[in-house]
A and B are shown apart, each in its own frame.
Chain A
Amino acid sequence: MKRTTTLISIFSGKSAFIKYCFLTGCFIFTLSGKAQQTTLTAIGNISGVPAEMKQSELKAVLMGETQRWKNGKRVVIALMKTNTPLGKTTSTKIYDMSGDELNKYWLSLVFQGKSQAPVFFTSVSELQNFVSQNPGAIGIIDKPVAISDVRSVIIDGKASF
Chain B
Amino acid sequence: MLINLKTKIWLTICSIVLIYSFFTLYYFPKQQGTLLVNNYENEVQNLANTVALGVKIAINEQNFEGVQTAMEFVKGDPRLQFISMVQSDTIWNAGHDKFEIRQTVFKTFPEKEHLSPSVSSNDSLIVKKAPFATGMMSGAILLGFNTKGIEASKAKIKNTSIIVSGIVLLFGILLGFWLARNISIPVLALRDAARKVGEGDLNQKIKRIHRDEIGQLEKAFNKMIDDLDKTTSDLNEKNLVLSATNDTLNDTLVQLKTTHTQLIQSEKMASLGELTAGIAHEIQNPLNFVNNFSEVSMELITEILEEKAKSATERDEALEAELLEDISNNLEKIAHHGKRADGIVKGMLQHSRSSSGVKEPFDINALADEYLRLAYHGLRAKDKSFNADLKTNFDLAIPKIMMIPQDVGRVLLNLFTNAFYATRQKQLAIGDYKPVLEVSTRQIPNAVEIVVKDNGTGIPDAIKDKILQPFFTTKPTGEGTGLGLSLSYDIVVKEHGGTIAIDSKEGEFSIFTITLPKQQESIG
A residues neighboring B (CB under 8 Å): 81-83, 100, 103-104, 106-108, 110-113, 116-120
- Whether A113 contacts B64 in the complex (CB less than 8 A), given A103-B136, A108-B107, comes out as no
7 shortest A-B CB distances, which residue pairs?
A: A117-B64, A120-B62, A100-B136, A111-B107, A108-B107, A81-B62, A112-B109
Closest to A100 in B: B136
Contacts of B58 in A (CB 8 A): 103, 106-107, 110, 117
Q: How far is the CB of B132 from chain A (nearest CB, A)?
A: 11
For chain B, what secondary structure do more than half of its interface residues adopt (helix, strand, loop), or is it mixed? Answer: mixed
Name 12 extra pairs, CB < 8 A, besides A107-B55, A117-B67, A119-B65.
A83-B62, A100-B137, A103-B62, A106-B64, A107-B67, A108-B106, A108-B107, A110-B58, A111-B106, A112-B107, A113-B75, A120-B62
A91 to chain B, nearest CB (A): 11
B77 interface hit (Cβ, 8 Å): no
Q: Are A110 and B59 in contact (CB under 8 A)?
A: no
Decide: B67 and A110 in contact? CB cutoff 8 A: yes
Name the residue on A nearest B67 (C-beta).
A110
Q: Does B126 contact A (CB under 8 A)?
A: no
Q: Which residues of B contact A116 (CB under 8 A)?
A: 68
Contacts of A120 in B (CB 8 A): 62-63
Write the nearest CB–CB distance from A85 to chain B, whole angstroms: 15
- Residues in chain A near residue B290, CB distance under 8 A: none
A119: B residues at CB distance < 8 A: 65
Q: Looking across the interface, which residue of chain B has its beta carbon closest to that of A83? A: B62
Contact B71–A107 (Cβ < 8 Å): no
Indicate if the CB atoms of B63 and A111 lie closer than 8 Å. Answer: no
**Chain A residue with minimal CB distance to B137?**
A104
Verify if B403 is at the interface (C-beta below 8 Å from A). no
B59 is contacted by which of A81, A103, A113, A118 (Cβ under 8 Å)? A103
Rounded to whole angstroms, the CA-CA distance of A110 and B67 in the bound complex is 8
Of A83, A107, A112, A117, which one neighbours B111 at CB under 8 angstroms? A112
Q: What does the 1/0 interface line of B57-94 toward A look like (CB < 8 Å)? A: 01100111101100110010000000101000000000
* Contact across chains for A107 and B109 when beta carbons are under 8 A apart: no
> Are A107 and B62 neighbours in the complex by a CB distance under 8 Å?
no
With an 8 Å Cβ cutoff, the count of chain B residues facing the other chain is 21
Could you write out 15 A-B pairs with CB less than 8 Å apart? A82-B62, A103-B58, A103-B62, A103-B136, A106-B64, A107-B55, A107-B59, A107-B64, A107-B67, A107-B107, A111-B55, A111-B67, A111-B71, A111-B85, A112-B107
Q: B: which residues have CB within 8 A of A?
A: 55, 58-59, 62-65, 67-68, 71-72, 75, 83, 85, 106-109, 111, 136-137
Q: In the assembled complex, how far is the CB of residue B54 from the closest CB belonging to chain A, in whole angstroms?
A: 9
Question: Do residues B109 and A111 form an inter-chain contact, with CB atoms below 8 A?
Answer: yes
| Complex Cα–Cα for A116 and B64 (A) | 9
- Distance (Å) between the CB of B206 and the closest chain A CB? 83
Q: How long is the Cα–Cα vector from A104 to B62 in the complex, in angstroms?
A: 10
Bound form: Cα–Cα A116–B69 in Å: 10
CA–CA, A117 and B65, complex, Å: 8
Q: Which residues of A contact B137 (CB under 8 A)?
A: 100, 104
With a cutoff of 8 Å between Cβ atoms, the chain B residues found around residue A100 in the complex are 136-137
With A81-B62, A117-B58 as given contacts, are A110 and B68 in contact (CB-CB < 8 Å)?
Answer: yes
- Min CB gap A106→B, angstroms: 6
- A110 x B62 contact (CB < 8 A): no
A39 CA to B64 CA, complexed, in Å? 27
Q: How far is the CA of A103 from the CA of B61 in the complex (A)?
A: 10
Contact A110 B64 (CB under 8 A): yes
How distant is A101 from chain B, measured CB to nearest CB, in Å? 9
Q: Which residues of B contact A113 (CB under 8 A)?
A: 71-72, 75, 109
Chain B residues closer than 8 Å to A83, beta-carbon distance: 62
| A102 to B, closest residue via Cβ | B62
Q: How far is the CA of A58 from the CA of B377 in the complex (A)?
A: 183
Q: Which residue of B lies closest to A98 (CB)?
A: B136
**Residues of B contacting A112 in the complex (Cβ-Cβ under 8 angstroms):** 107-109, 111
Residues on A with C-beta less than 8 A from B63 are 120
Docked-complex contact B71 and A104, CB < 8 angstroms: no
- Give Cα A117–Cα B70 distance, bound, in whole angstroms: 13
Among residues of B, the one whose C-beta sits closest to the C-beta of A111 is B107
Q: Which residues of B contact A118 (CB under 8 A)?
A: 64
B425 to chain A, nearest CB (A): 155
Find chain B residues with CB under 8 A from A82 CB.
62
A107 to B137, CA, bound (A): 11
CA distance A108 to B111 in the complex (A): 11
Chain A contacts for B106, CB-based, 8 A: 108, 111
Of the candidates A81, A104, A106, A111, the one whose C-beta lies within 8 Å of that of B136 is: A104
Q: Decide if B136 touches A117 in the complex (CB within 8 Å).
A: no
A106→B54 CA distance, assembly (Å): 13
How far is A81 from B60 in the complex, measured between Cα atoms in Å? 11
Nearest B residue (CB) for A79: B62
In the bound assembly, the distance between CA atoms of A113 and B108 in angstroms comes to: 10
Q: How many angstroms from the CA of A72 to the CA of B68 in the assembled complex?
A: 21
**A128, B137: Cα distance in complex, Å:** 31
Closest residue of chain B to A116, judged by CB? B68
| Most chain A CB within a 10 A radius of its CB, from B63, B64, B72, B109 | B64
Question: What residues on A are CB-neighbors of B83 within 8 Å?
Answer: 111
- Chain A residue at smallest Cβ distance from B58: A107
Query: In whole angstroms, how far apart are the Cα atoms of A107 and B136 in the complex?
Result: 12
Complexed CA–CA distance, A107 and B75 (Å): 15
Greatest chain A CB density within 10 A among B85, B106, B107 is at B107
Return the chain A residue nearest B83 by Cβ.
A111
Determine the distance from Cα of A152 to Cα of B356 in the docked complex, in whole angstroms: 168
CB distance from A158 to the nearest CB of B (A): 28
A117 touches B68 (CB 8 A): yes
Interface centre among A111, A112, A117 (most CB of B within 10 A): A111
B62 to chain A: which residues have CB within 8 Å?
81-83, 103, 120
Taking CB atoms, residues of chain A closer than 8 Å to B65 are 117, 119
